[in-house]
Amino acid sequence: MTISIRSVEKKFGRYPALNSVDLEIADGELVALLGPSGSGKTTLLRTIAGLEFPDAGQVLFAGQDVTFASAAARRVGFVFQQYALFKHMTVARNIAFGLDVRKGQDKPPKAEIARRVDELLKLVELEGLGKRYPSQLSGGQRQRVALSRALAVQPSVLLLDEPFGALDATVRKSLRKELRRVHDATGVTTIFVTHDQEEALGLADRVAILNAGRIEQIGTPDEVHDNPATPFVCGFVGEANRFEGTVAGGRFTSGAVSFSAKGVRDGAAVAFVRPHDFALDEGGFEVRVDRAHVQGALTTVAATAADGRAVEVCASRSEAAQFAGTVRIVARKSHVYPI
């Protein structure tokens, strides 16, 4: 199912939650909506679901206008952060709920419902747990049940709102892999909301970065990380050193910090350098190493430039011994934006 969001706007009172949002999602794609609190990502998801209706613009499913259609009419599967399972029902009955409540000819035979439940229990690796109750499951298992329930009705679109937010880090990582596997097995167009960069970059085919009700950039995880379109994206996605200064003659300068900025027009600018893009080089600017912390194969170096500003460098473990006293570093890659 393709999804088209065209110039969608939504206000709550005087607050603009969505501001002329455009987004195209391909059939079978897995897309993350990533942004800070208040960026509009959940409002956009709810608008796609039919749980909110826009003040302006269109929502199209497979080319059909569903802007004011209900969630049921859109055949959307929705997974919430807090699972929303029925405590008095077994796992199997929870999964079957969407099929059990159908009326007349729309309701499948009991044998077909049972077969569908068994298929989904196998898909999410919960075989043999159909007779248990939610209280007898771990958080990760309950979220798998919620995912199975959403898939039971064979939705045209699967939407997930912070699906792993209530789980600990280890379980979140495991369930991210699980969601990717389930998505690849079903091929359902899937959109999920998250504020977790690692989650978005590690799971999605494409990531839409939202800020103040607008999409700042949409692209593959590599594109938004390596080629950020705006200062906000560069500062929000991944770690980065931020400098305010000026560009003159293809060089950026901010106090004692200076590096190449070829192709950027002269004038005031803001620049970002990711810690791993700094390297030791006698032709670079001087920093004093304050401490070096080894983390597995990498070394995180906290340093101070000659004018007192903090600089963070990430180097290989083999380079750790070279980061001592006063050294010179150069930015091998930077992102410089005129302001």
The CATH number assigned to the domain holding 304 equals 2.40.50.140
Whether the per-residue pLDDT at 277 is higher than 80: the answer is: yes
224, 299: one domain: no
CA distance 326 to 128: 62
279, 183: one domain: no
pLDDT attached to residue 266: 97
Whether the per-residue pLDDT at 81 is higher than 80: the answer is: no
pLDDT band at residue 177 under the 50/70/90 scheme = confident
**Domain holding 37: CATH number?**
3.40.50.300
Considering the chain, what percentage of its residues have pLDDT values greater than 90?
78
Q: Mean pLDDT throughout 144-171?
A: 87
CA distance 97 to 78: 13
Whether the per-residue pLDDT at 79 is higher than 90: the answer is: no
Query: In the numeric block, which tokens belong to residue 117?
Result: 């439940």
182, 299: one domain: no
Among the candidates 214, 235, 256, a domain finishes at 235
Helix (H, G, I), strand (E, B) or coil at 180: helix
13, 101: one domain: yes
Whether the per-residue pLDDT at 287 is higher than 90: the answer is: yes
pLDDT band at residue 49 under the 50/70/90 scheme = very high
The tally of domains found in the chain comes to 2
7, 152: one domain: yes
Range of the domain at 189: 3-235
How many other CB atoms are found less than 10 A from the CB of residue 122? 12
pLDDT attached to residue 166: 65
Amino acid at 101: V
pLDDT attached to residue 174: 83
CA distance 78 to 274: 36
State how far the alpha carbon of 327 is from the alpha carbons of 277, 286, 295, 301, in Å. Answer: 16, 6, 21, 12
67, 30: one domain: yes
Q: Could you report the per-residue pLDDT of 241-255, keeping only the tens digit for each?
A: 999 999 999 999 999
pLDDT attached to residue 72: 85
Q: Could you report the per-residue pLDDT of 297-327, keeping only the tens digit for each?
A: 899 999 999 999 999 999 998 888 889 999 9
43, 179: one domain: yes
64, 146: one domain: yes
pLDDT attached to residue 278: 96
9, 50: one domain: yes
Whether the per-residue pLDDT at 187 is higher than 70: the answer is: yes
CA distance 39 to 35: 6
Query: In the numeric block, which tokens belong to residue 325?
Result: 């006293």
247, 300: one domain: yes
pLDDT attached to residue 295: 85
CA distance 161 to 165: 9
212, 262: one domain: no
pLDDT band at residue 331 under the 50/70/90 scheme = very high
Q: Which of 137, 153, 157 is nearest to 145 (CA)?
A: 137
DSSP code, position 275: G
224, 262: one domain: no
pLDDT attached to residue 83: 66
Among the candidates 208, 235, 262, a domain finishes at 235
Q: Mean pLDDT throughout 181-188?
A: 92
Whether the per-residue pLDDT at 29 is higher than 90: the answer is: yes
Among the candidates 188, 209, 235, a domain finishes at 235
Look up the pTM and report it.
0.89
